[in-house]
């Protein structure tokens, strides 16, 4: 991980389990970074749950169906922000702490969903668009991935991981 430079834009997820601060790879995946930052500014991620947690692999969030009141729109993991981004595969390795775009089978189907790596998974390299990394808060990601979950790797209702709010800040 490279420390942020003064003036660099960062995102902070304020979760019910602690904060996760992210920096972006604008040089490697500019469209993904721009879309993610726009959603943060609009408050899209506020109230969204991490809906998939797999120990030894990753945690996934960004599905609007996980917000209270949106359950009728479809199951967790099936919703998105209503657009699709063209892939921006790059030389970033999917190691612990990497932020990457979740997608369907189509490489050009990423939208609002993302995942944070809690372990290295080289089979994802050049298959998914990595567009950032965790600066601080991997301990929070570790708490989230350790939550009790069901057979579909969804945290149980009694122990959710919620992005209470998300914001963009400037590194000092």
How much is the pLDDT for 68?
83
* Residue 28 domain-assigned (yes or no): yes
Give the model's pLDDT for residue 1: 74
**Is 156 part of a structural domain of the chain?**
yes
Q: Is residue 2 part of a domain?
A: no
Give 134's contacts (C-beta < 8 A, 6+ positions apart). Answer: 1, 20, 21, 22, 97, 98, 99, 116, 141
Mean pLDDT along residues 60-65: 96
Query: pTM score, two decimals?
Result: 0.96
Mean pLDDT in residue range 25-37? 98
Residue 149 DSSP code: B
CATH code of 81's domain: 2.40.100.10
Whether the per-residue pLDDT at 71 is higher than 80: the answer is no
- Work out the percent of the chain whose per-residue pLDDT is above 90: 89
In a domain, 26, yes or no: yes
Contacts of 143 (CB under 8 A, 6+ apart): 17, 18, 161
Residue 3, in any domain of the structure:
no
- The parent domain of residue 41 ranges over 9-170
The mean pLDDT value of the chain amounts to 95
Quote the CA–CA distance of 91 and 94 in Å, as a whole number.
Answer: 9
Collapsing DSSP to helix, strand or coil, 18 comes out as strand
**Confidence (pLDDT) at 3:** 84
Residue 49 pLDDT > 90, yes or no? yes
Residue 96 lies in a domain: yes
Residue 52 lies in a domain: yes
Give a yes or no: residue 155 inside a domain.
Answer: yes
Q: How does residue 165 score in pLDDT terms, banded at 50, 70 and 90? A: very high
Number of domains in the chain: 1
Which is higher by pLDDT, 80 or 111? Answer: 111
């Amino acid at each position: 991980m490279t420390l942020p430079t003064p003036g660099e834009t960062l995102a902070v997820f304020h979760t019910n389990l602690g904060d996760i601060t992210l920096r972006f790879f604008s040089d490697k995946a500019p469209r993904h970074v721009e879309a993610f930052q726009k959603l943060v500014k609009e408050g899209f991620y506020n109230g969204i749950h991490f809906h998939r947690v797999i120990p030894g692999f990753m945690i996934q969030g960004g599905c609007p169906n996980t917000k209270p009141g949106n359950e009728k729109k479809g199951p967790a993991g099936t919703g998105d922000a209503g657009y699709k981004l063209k892939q921006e595969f790059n030389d970033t390795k999917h190691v612990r702490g990497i932020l990457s775009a979740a997608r369907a089978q189509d490489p050009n189907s990423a939208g609002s969903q993302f995942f944070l790596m809690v372990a290295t998974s080289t089979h994802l390299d050049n298959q998914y668009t990595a567009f950032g990394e965790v600066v601080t808060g991997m301990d929070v990601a570790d708490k989230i991935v350790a939550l009790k979950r069901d057979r579909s790797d969804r945290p149980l209702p009694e122990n959710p991981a919620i992005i209470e709010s998300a914001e963009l800040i400037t590194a000092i």
